[in-house]
Structure 1
Amino acid sequence: MSISTSYKAEKRSNKSVTFFVCFLAALAGLLFGLDIGVIAGALPFISHDFQISSHEQEWVVSSMMFGAAVGAVGSGWMNFRIGRKYSLMIGAVLFVLGSLASALAPNTEVLIIARVLLGLAVGVASYTAPLYLSEIAPEKIRGSMISMYQLMITIGILAAYLSDTGLSYTGSWRWMLGVITIPALLLLIGVFFLPDSPRWLAARGNDEKARRVLEKLRDTSEQAKNELNEIRESLKVKQSGWALFTNNKNFRRAVYLGILLQVMQQFTGMNVIMYYAPKIFGLAGFASNAEQMWGTVIVGLVNVLATFIAIGLVDRWGRKPTLILGFLVMAVGMGVLGTMLHVGVESMGAKYFSIAMLLMFIVGFAMSAGPLIWVLCSEIQPLKGRDFGITVSTATNWIANMIVGATFLTMLDSLGNANTFWVYGGLNLVFIFITLALIPETKNVSLEHIERNLMSGKPLKNIGD
């Protein structure tokens, strides 16, 4: 065999290994999506069986967000101590336990506790998987690989909606919640085959093992060697975590940007659609349970398909222009939907047009803020502060998520249907200007190069230059 042929075979093999590793890690997103999506279809049956109020329904929904915020905070320490691989393993165990406890809950109180446990699992997964993917994937495909994690979330949501719809004819909400145990067990098995992050290994002083992992994941040994040298250079920063945050203003800028990005993602209003989809279809004039459930499935399908737009654009067109387009599409979708609810949706044409605006909003989110916020948050933090920075941003995501989930029904009651959707439409317009002013373009740039720009004091919007 010639040297050229051998090199090409090695290159194909390494790309296959990289893709397999990233795909397996992204399976955590599938469970994330299942847990987000399943409650939308189960909630009407839970509220009927347990006779709970709108406020108690909000707590059933948002309790998972509370657990996720706690799980995200704890994930920083756990990832630092035991690494990304074993943190994902713990998350998978929590998914199994939380799913079983939810399915067997005898009352609302136990169900809320079980949802908190599931939230812990989601918090671990939402922290660890994008971080792991950002540290494993080469910079040329890093955006699409982390976007694949978001794709798995959308597939999980769609699978939950289909499962809910199939089980809705019998009202079997316990099966809706319990079926998540199966993919959780698959993830637990799959994680055993993952390598540890080379950046985490190097940070722990295990350079030789880090080199071996990189050689399996990169096209050539020379690429692996160069990347390991860049990682070592990043590790020369003496301070880390909280000490780095308190003493380095440039690192603080990255942490604050991560917080802002996650607040922007949550206040687009997307998770309002995910958690309360049947309710929103009811507002749009589709009164029967079957119409609402199948409408929810359509929401999930559009969410999956539109995520492929992000995977195609993120490493070609870039993060920033894709975000701007997405926020614009979401602002128009939410604004027009609010207007339709204001003027009334009496005719069949008005009902379908309202749903078209809802689906337009979902396309905007799935092609932009859904995956790209996770991409950016995993890219902008320096290596010695990455665990701390992503802990803060992921916890922010779930705190904002909890606020959105716990206030939507109250907003509908106090502000009215139209005003509620107008508020979210207006926020998406604001996010366009924030993106223009602050968000960097990071496509095809190594994590170490982004770090050098950040720590040298470049403006945030220029750290990807």
Structure 2
Amino acid sequence: MAGAQHDEGISKTNDLAQQAAIDEHDLGVREAIRRYPRAIMWSVLVSTAIIMEGYDIVLISSFFGLPSFAKKYGHFVDNASGYQISAPWQAGLSNGTSIGTLIGSLANGYFVFRYGYRNTLLVSLCLIVAFIFIPFFAPSLPVLLLGQILCGIPWGVFATMAPAYASEVCPMALRGYLTVYVNLCWAFGQLIAAGVLSGFSEGTSQWSYRIPFAIQWAWPIPLFAVLFFAPESPYHHVRRGEIEKAENSVRRLGSASHPSQSVALMIHTNELEKEIDAGTSYLDCFRGIDLRRTEIVCMAFITQPFCGSAMGGTPTYFFLQAGLPTSISFKMSVGGLGLAAVGTLISWKLLHAFGRRTLYLAGLAGLTAILWTVGFISVGAGTSTAGYYAQATMMLLWLFVYYMTVGPICYAIIGEISSTRLRNKSISLSRSAYYIGQIICNVINPYMLNPTEGDWKGKTGFFWGGCSFVFFIWTWFRLPESKDRSFEELDLLFAQKVKARDFSKAVVDPYAENVDVRVTFVDK
């Protein structure tokens, strides 16, 4: 009798889940916006914390070209170069943030699974308020480095949490847009930093670099006050068996008239993944079919630093070394990062039209061509004024293309490819891979650009263009298309070991009784 009731309960859950899956596939973008305004709001607010990391990335690298900062923390080279922060310290300060964010991203995978998104986020906001005091008052480079490492820990939490939260609280129709919004926040942070630094670029006092540090306090306090009321991800409750709490979260996130139906889909997805691979530890990310998913999210993210962002993502220092005056370099950075924000907005339209794989391939092809063009300009006209501005113009184009394609689309990929049971840990690993790549690039790049080291100037583009081409090849063979796929459909595609280039050809029915026909193919 009990067994019959149990089977009946499973059947009812599956029926509700199937109906929810049908409804989600039928839900258009406009209707999703109308029905889920609160999910959009909370996703946007959680992602807003990313602004702080984007702000600091530009801040610390641009400080290397700020005369007052270089005079305080650097050493005098000669009359032509003036004061410079040495290449080892440039690498150290840039990597200090990366080391901290690496720690934070890995810690996030554990703490979110154990304590949930909301609690982890609130604690991280408190920590960043305290840690900002260290770089603000730093009397020396070692103290500044310590501050960058400690500030990086909560930034790593924010960067890892935002795409995971967005992918779990929003319907499929909005999932790509709101995970990509994470990158827009990154671009906004960089744009704000560039604007602030442009205003202080000719300052000679300590406040020209201390005030930009202090501005970082503008985000965490109001965010804490608002996000204190944020709902927890319903997927988090489902993974913990807290079904009633999951339904309450669904009610708070949208206008779903049948929250039990939405939760049933989450339960079905969770159970399907448990059948495929029941583990939820970091080690499970490297076992079975999840190894492939981990490879994809990690490689997709590590593509970012190696496709030229060490050179073009924070362009002020490159502009200076290419030969542009200080004030113009900072102003061009503002313009470039403004283009980055516009590019991210355009990516939303492109994401709907072309999907993830196509945009990644097109973006990497374009970035490779741009970087090699910069290198050739540097070889042919690297010492002329026209050559300086031509290189700068190409790097502005690099920013625009990057933020239309590789920059934002990556967040959609990592939010969709990872399994729901391992999502926090998969995204943490992918972000950690990014930070490791960033550390490597931050070590290499100063030695190529710094006038006291390689002094390659624009010829650095040859190196990063070559790296970008390598990742283009990987993308062609290994990155699948996840557009318009539910999480359970992706689970089955990976379980069936479908080739990356065949994902778009597959027809998936997660509710087919015959397991052999759950995944079939049509020619396109």
TM-score w.r.t. the length of structure 1 is: 0.92
Q: Between Structure 1 and Structure 2, whose CA radius of gyration is higher?
A: 2
RMSD: 2.1
How do residues 297-316 of structure 1 correspond to structure 2 at under 5 angstroms? 297-316=334-353
> In the superposition, relative to structure 1, how do residues 226 and 313 fare at CA in structure 2: closer, same or farther (>3 Å)?
farther
Whether the aligned pair in 2 keeps the contact of 1:338 and 1:422 (CA below 8 Å) is yes
Whole-angstrom CA distance in 1 between matches of 2:130 and 2:405 = 33
**Which residue in the other structure is 1:255 paired with?**
294
Aligned residues: 452
Whether the aligned pair in 2 keeps the contact of 1:325 and 1:364 (CA below 8 Å) is no
**Which residue in the other structure is 1:48 paired with?**
71
Match for 1:229 among 255, 258, 264? 264
Whether the aligned pair in 1 keeps the contact of 2:125 and 2:154 (CA below 8 Å) is yes
> In the superposition, relative to structure 1, how do residues 367 and 11 fare at CA in structure 2: closer, same or farther (>3 Å)?
closer
**Which residue in the other structure is 2:211 paired with?**
175
Deviates more, 1:449-458 or 1:21-30: 449-458
Whether the aligned pair in 2 keeps the contact of 1:99 and 1:179 (CA below 8 Å) is no
Instruction: Name structure 1 gaps, 5 residues minimum.
Output: 1-9
- Helix, strand or coil at the partner of 1:235: helix
The letter of the residue matching 1:207 is I
Q: Deviation of residue 42 (structure 1)?
A: 2.3
**Which residue in the other structure is 2:79 paired with?**
none
Whether the aligned pair in 2 keeps the contact of 1:258 and 1:377 (CA below 8 Å) is yes
**Which residue in the other structure is 1:280 paired with?**
318
Instruction: Name structure 2 gaps, 5 residues minimum.
Output: 1-30, 75-84, 507-524
Whole-angstrom CA distance in 1 between matches of 2:293 and 2:106 = 17
Kindly indicate whether residue 369 of structure 2 is the aligned counterpart of residue 332 of structure 1. Answer: yes
Whole-angstrom CA distance in 2 between matches of 1:325 and 1:206 = 43
Kindly indicate whether residue 426 of structure 2 is the aligned counterpart of residue 426 of structure 1. Answer: no
Q: Deviation of residue 13 (structure 1)?
A: 5.9
Whole-angstrom CA distance in 2 between matches of 1:411 and 1:451 = 43
Whether the aligned pair in 1 keeps the contact of 2:307 and 2:465 (CA below 8 Å) is yes
Whole-angstrom CA distance in 1 between matches of 2:62 and 2:290 = 42
> In the superposition, relative to structure 1, how do residues 12 and 430 fare at CA in structure 2: closer, same or farther (>3 Å)?
closer
Match for 1:58 among 91, 110, 127? 91
The letter of the residue matching 1:179 is I
- Helix, strand or coil at the partner of 1:140: helix
Kindly indicate whether residue 66 of structure 2 is the aligned counterpart of residue 33 of structure 1. Answer: no
Kindly indicate whether residue 405 of structure 2 is the aligned counterpart of residue 405 of structure 1. Answer: no
Q: Deviation of residue 282 (structure 1)?
A: 2.1
Whether the aligned pair in 2 keeps the contact of 1:41 and 1:168 (CA below 8 Å) is no
1:365-385: CA deviation from partner (whole Å, max 9, x where unpaired) = 101111111211121111222
**Which residue in the other structure is 2:304 paired with?**
265
Q: Deviation of residue 49 (structure 1)?
A: 0.3
1:192-231: CA deviation from partner (whole Å, max 9, x where unpaired) = 1211011011111111121222234345334x44432222
1:388-407: CA deviation from partner (whole Å, max 9, x where unpaired) = 22221111111111111122
Q: Deviation of residue 57 (structure 1)?
A: 2.0
Q: Deviation of residue 311 (structure 1)?
A: 1.7
- Helix, strand or coil at the partner of 1:326: helix
The letter of the residue matching 2:104 is G
Whole-angstrom CA distance in 1 between matches of 2:111 and 2:409 = 25
Kindly indicate whether residue 250 of structure 2 is the aligned counterpart of residue 214 of structure 1. Answer: yes
Whether the aligned pair in 2 keeps the contact of 1:411 and 1:420 (CA below 8 Å) is yes
> In the superposition, relative to structure 1, how do residues 84 and 387 fare at CA in structure 2: closer, same or farther (>3 Å)?
same
Whether the aligned pair in 1 keeps the contact of 2:161 and 2:424 (CA below 8 Å) is no
Match for 1:386 among 412, 415, 423? 423
Q: Deviation of residue 462 (structure 1)?
A: 4.2
**Which residue in the other structure is 2:512 paired with?**
none
Deviates more, 1:75-84 or 1:260-269: 260-269
How do residues 369-380 of structure 1 correspond to structure 2 at under 5 angstroms? 369-380=406-417
The letter of the residue matching 1:47 is A
The letter of the residue matching 1:64 is T
Whole-angstrom CA distance in 2 between matches of 1:201 and 1:266 = 35
Whole-angstrom CA distance in 2 between matches of 1:321 and 1:226 = 33
Q: Deviation of residue 46 (structure 1)?
A: 2.7
Whole-angstrom CA distance in 2 between matches of 1:463 and 1:232 = 24
The letter of the residue matching 2:156 is G
Q: Deviation of residue 177 (structure 1)?
A: 1.2
Q: Deviation of residue 84 (structure 1)?
A: 1.1
Whether the aligned pair in 1 keeps the contact of 2:374 and 2:459 (CA below 8 Å) is no
**Which residue in the other structure is 1:6 paired with?**
none
- Helix, strand or coil at the partner of 2:480: coil
**Which residue in the other structure is 2:390 paired with?**
353
